[in-house]
Every structure is written in structure tokens, then in C-alpha cells.
Amino acid sequence: MVFKSKKIAKMADNMAAQGMGKSHSLWSDARRRFFKNKAAVVSLIILSLIIIFAFAAPYFTPWNNEEIDWAILGSVAQDGKPSFTTKHYFGADPLGRDLFARVAQGSQISLMVGIIGAGIAVIVGTLYGAIAGYFGGRLDNIMMRLVDILMSIPYMFVLILLLVVFGRSIEMLFVGLGLISWLDMSRIVRGQTMVLRNKEFIEAAIAGGLNRFTIITRHIIPNLLGIVIVYASLLVPLMILTESFISFLGLGVQEPNTSWGALISEGAGQVLYGTLWQLGFPLFFFVTALFSFFFIGDGLRDALDPKDR
């Protein structure tokens, strides 16, 4: 059509004059906004350092997490102080074991519990919530009532019961945490899915002949990721806190494995003896990591704010 080419030429001039600029997806916009948030970026760096510490530190010390230093056993309060000479950089715990190595190992466990626990919650919760939210009706009703029932069970009680009955192990901890952590996520995802489901681009996808599974995976879930990521970043510290509490009660990871909670528990009990480093170091890592997660979560929320879309 002749007149079209002239129109398109004019339009091209227009666009050039308008300067559409570089193409940018919503993710790159969000990334840009995130990196402008100083608190979030600093927290990200700090968290990365903690992670590096957790996994690399054991290589930098001659001690491992269960080896007892017989030389200082019995006089830990005096000889077990943090020092470079004894190579106990963080000092020693009440049983003479190197705290540096133990804190590193504890960090590994706590972080893994947090991240893997949150990961399970995200995957299970998102799929569950998206299916319930998309199909609605009776299926949604049944699925959500199940969630309600599970939520009304006092989880701490169940968790402790599981650990007592089936024995304390990391696997049990994951099972227990996994059972409770996906519930909130599924509710949030379900709500968001219901909002998305009514949007016109979903109707367009149906009119385009897509099957329901493809609609959920291609159209709904990518638009959920924003809220899922934000919530997940808040879930990680929650998992760490839960695990820490369990360990603080003495029901968490088994010796010689340890976690922040267990270390804090030990350290708190030893404060009277003046061995403050036994409480201080694990507490420092614990608190710093949690704060970092919270700031990152805040930063993510601001960056992914749907209002700006």
C-alpha cells in the first residue's frame, strides 16, 4: 500500500526525534533502582562477605569444628581468648573447640537452612497458590481451606514434636520447616494470581488459544516473580530465626554440627564466666546477616514496586 510507506517514513522520523532510547525491560529498570539504594547495596556486599566467610573460612584455620584443643581445655576462660598465637581467631568454646571454625560451620548451616527453606517455600507455595488462584471455584476453596487448617496448627509445637519423635537431624529440620513455610507464600501468590487473572492480557492469551498450563507458566508466574522475590527475601531471615530458636532450645542441629542459634545458646550460658567472645561472635554474624536480609528485602520491594510499572 503506497500511502503506508510514506506514513511509516514519517513515523520513523518521529521516533528518532522522540529518542526512544535504549530498550529496557522491567527487570533492568528494577535492577537500576535497586543499585541506587545504598543500604541495600551495602547489605548485599556484607551478606556476600558472610557467605564467603561461611564457606571459605574453614580453609584458613588449622582447626576444624569438632577438634578439641587439649592445651587450653580446663582454662578456656583465660587461654581460650581470641588470639593469633593460638590460631583461635575467635577464641575457643567451652569445650575447647575453635570458635572460628565453629562459627563458619554454623553460618553454613544457618544460611543453608534459610535459603533452602525459603526456596522450598517459594517453589511449593507459588505453584500451589497459582493453581488455586487461577482455577478458582471449588478447587480454590478446597486448596485454601487446607492451607487454613495447616496454618491454624501451632507450628512450633508440631516442629518440636517432630524433632523429638523422629530424632534431631538436619533432614527433619528441613521437613519441619518445609511444612510450614510455604503456607503464607501460597496465600500471597493466590491473591496476586486472582488479580492477574482478570487482567486483559490473560483474556488475550485465552483468545490466543494457549492452554491453561502455558498461561500460568508464561503469563502469570513471570508477573508474580516480583512479589515472590520480595517475600522470599523476607522468608530467609524468618527461616534462620526459626531454626535459631529451635537450636537455642537445644532441639536443632545435632553436635558436632552447629548453627548460629546453637552457638548463641552456648555462648549465652557462658557469659557469667566472662567468655564474652563465645556469645559475641555468633551473635554478631547472626544479627548482621538478618539485618542485611531485611535491607535487601526492602530494597527489592522498592525496586520492584508495581506502582512504577
Partner 1 sequence: MSNILLEVNDLKKTFPISGGMFVKKQTLTAIEDISFSLTKGETLGIVGESGCGKSTLGRCILQLLEPDSGQVVWLGDDLTKLGWRKMRPHRKDLQIIFQDPLASLNPRLTVGEIIADPLRSLMPQLNQAQRQQKVLAMMKSVGLLPEMISRFPHEFSGGQAQRIGIARALITEPKLIICDEPVSALDVSVQAQILNLLRDIKDEFGLTLIFISHDLSVVRHVSDRIMVLYLGRIAELASSGDLYDEPKHPYTKALLKAVPVPDPIKARERTIEGLTGEIPSPINPPSGCTFRTRCPMADKKCAKERPQIDDIGRGRLIACHHWRKG
Partner 2 sequence: MSIFEVKGLSVNFTTINGEVKAVNNVSFNIAKGETVAIVGESGSGKSQTVLAALGLLAENGHATGSVKFEGQELLGLEIKNLNKIRGNKISMVFQDPMTSLNPFLRISDQMVEVLTLHKGMNKKAATAEAIRMLDAVRLPDASQVITRFPHELSGGMRQRVMIAIALSCEPQILIADEPTTALDVTVQAQMLELFKGLTKDFGTSLILITHDLGVVAGIADRMMVMYAGKMVEKGNVDETFYSPKNPYTFGLLHSTPHIDDPEKRLEPIDGLPPSLENLPSGCAFHPRCAYSMERCLIEEPKLIVEKNGRSNACFYKGKLGDKESSE
Binding residues for partner 1, rule: CB under 8 A, are 1, 4, 7-8, 11-12, 15, 20, 23-26, 199-201, 203-212, 214, 218-219, 222-223, 309
Contact region with partner 2 (CB under 8 A), list: 14-22, 78-86, 106-114, 236-244:
14-22
Q: Using CA atoms in the order 180, 181, 184, 187, what is the torsion angle rounded to 10 degrees? A: -80
Q: Which does 17 bind (CB under 5 to 8 A by kind): partner 2, partner 1, none?
A: partner 2
Counting residues that bind partner 2 (by CB under 8 A) gives 11
Q: Give the H/E segment covering residue 296.
A: helix 277-303
Residues 6+ apart with CB under 8 A from 129: 185, 186, 187, 188, 189, 190, 191, 192, 193
Do residues 98 and 80 touch, judged by C-beta distance below 8 A? no
Q: Which of partner 2, partner 1, none does residue 85 bind to, with CB < 5 to 8 Å depending on kind?
A: none
Residue 12 near which of partner 2, partner 1, none (CB within 5-8 Å, type-dependent): partner 1
Residue 106 CA to residue 108 CA, distance in Å, equals 5
The 8-class DSSP code of residue 218 comes to: I
* Cβ partners under 8 Å of residue 79, min gap 6: 71, 72, 86, 92
169 binds partner 2 (CB under 8 A): no
- Candidate ranges 15-23, 72-80, 242-250, 283-291; the one touching partner 2 (CB under 8 A): 15-23
Q: CB under 8 A: which stretch of 7-15, 113-121, 163-171, 195-203 binds partner 2?
A: 7-15
Q: Which of 1, 19, 198, 200 binds partner 2 (CB under 8 A)?
A: 19
